[in-house]
Amino acid sequence: MMAARLPLYLLRLVKKIAARVLIVSGLDSLRYKRDYKRKKINGDALEDPALVDGYKDEGEVERVEKLVELILSQVPHPRAVLDIGCGTGRYLRQLQAVSPDSVLEGIDISAEILDKYARPMVPGAQFHALDIETDRRFFRRRESSFDLICLIGIIQVVARRKVRTILRKVHHMCNDGGVAYIQFNVETAKKKSSCGYRRYSVEEISALLEECSFQVIKSGRTDILADYAYVFARKHPATR
């Protein structure tokens, strides 16, 4: 009996070890990155960005409205805003509606999502197709350029070991006193979200932000999004 169970046990063990190796090496996020980069958007979904696969998890228009309200409660009149991993541009679209004087820019790794959704949906905003993990040119050119930088639902799809590097880039691009807004799948008993994304605790993200010379100004869970948490952090003046 015991002998019969041994191969099953070994198989499970090998699977567990392989999953661990993928997470630690960051190779699992390469899969998301590749999927997003090659994302093909089906025609029916074009009517409604909430239907685009991979963008459903953060809910519909009313939720986006409430979250933008939350963001603007901390940064009421941002002159320049960057949304990293902007996807369909739905947050920028809402920002444009309620803060029409803000200059808006978005970054996404998927050129297709920017062309099909973000550009038509947010006229006047600038969009850049690039990989925030590996980009050097954009962030170097945009030192101290933004009052508000949003990372909504992106931290959980990039490699864990790359998060610090990305936050340093965010710090570099924030104005003195500028604010970073990070929204992410929060840690629960389940290791991964329903889409398979990794989760972080508020403490983990706050500690990373502080390591990158930000000061956390507000954080928490939101009843707007059951599975998510957020952290607002301000760039310390005179930290470059």
Ligand X SMILES: C[S@@+](CC[C@H](N)C(=O)[O-])C[C@H]1O[C@@H](n2cnc3c(N)ncnc32)[C@H](O)[C@@H]1O
If the CB atoms of residues 26 and 54 are measured against ligand X, the closer one turns out to be 54
Do 222 and 204 form a contact (C-beta atoms < 8 A)?
no
Residue from 41, 71, 75, 90 in contact with ligand X (CB under 6 A): 90
If the CB atoms of residues 113 and 212 are measured against ligand X, the closer one turns out to be 113
Locate tokens 């945009």: which residue? 142
93 binds ligand X (CB under 6 A): no
28 binds ligand X (CB under 6 A): no
26 binds ligand X (CB under 6 A): no
Cα distance between residue 107 and residue 85, in whole Å: 6
DSSP secondary structure letter of residue 172: H
Handedness of CA 62, 78, 90, 38 (dihedral sign): negative
167 binds ligand X (CB under 6 A): no
If the CB atoms of residues 79 and 138 are measured against ligand X, the closer one turns out to be 138
Residue from 148, 152, 209, 231 in contact with ligand X (CB under 6 A): 152
If the CB atoms of residues 145 and 193 are measured against ligand X, the closer one turns out to be 193
Residue from 65, 112, 133, 204 in contact with ligand X (CB under 6 A): 133
208 binds ligand X (CB under 6 A): no
Cα distance between residue 181 and residue 218, in whole Å: 10
* Smallest distance from ligand X to CB 41, Å: 11
131 binds ligand X (CB under 6 A): yes
Residue from 45, 46, 54, 204 in contact with ligand X (CB under 6 A): 54
Which residues are 107's β-sheet partners? 84, 128
88 binds ligand X (CB under 6 A): yes
* Smallest distance from ligand X to CB 146, Å: 16
Size of residue set near ligand X by CB under 6 A? 23
* Smallest distance from ligand X to CB 39, Å: 7
Which residues neighbour 148 within 8 Å (Cβ) at sequence distance 6 or greater?
A: 71, 75, 78, 80, 81, 82, 178, 179, 180, 181
81 binds ligand X (CB under 6 A): no
CA angle 16, 159, 87 (to 5 degrees): 120
DSSP secondary structure letter of residue 160: G
The helix (run of H) or strand (run of E) holding residue 181 is strand 174-185
DSSP secondary structure letter of residue 239: -
* Smallest distance from ligand X to CB 160, Å: 13
116 binds ligand X (CB under 6 A): no
Which residues neighbour 92 within 8 Å (Cβ) at sequence distance 6 or greater?
A: 81, 83, 86, 104, 106, 118, 121, 122, 125
Q: Which residues bind ligand X (CB under 6 A)?
A: 33, 36, 54-55, 58, 85-88, 90, 107-110, 113, 131-133, 152-154, 157-158
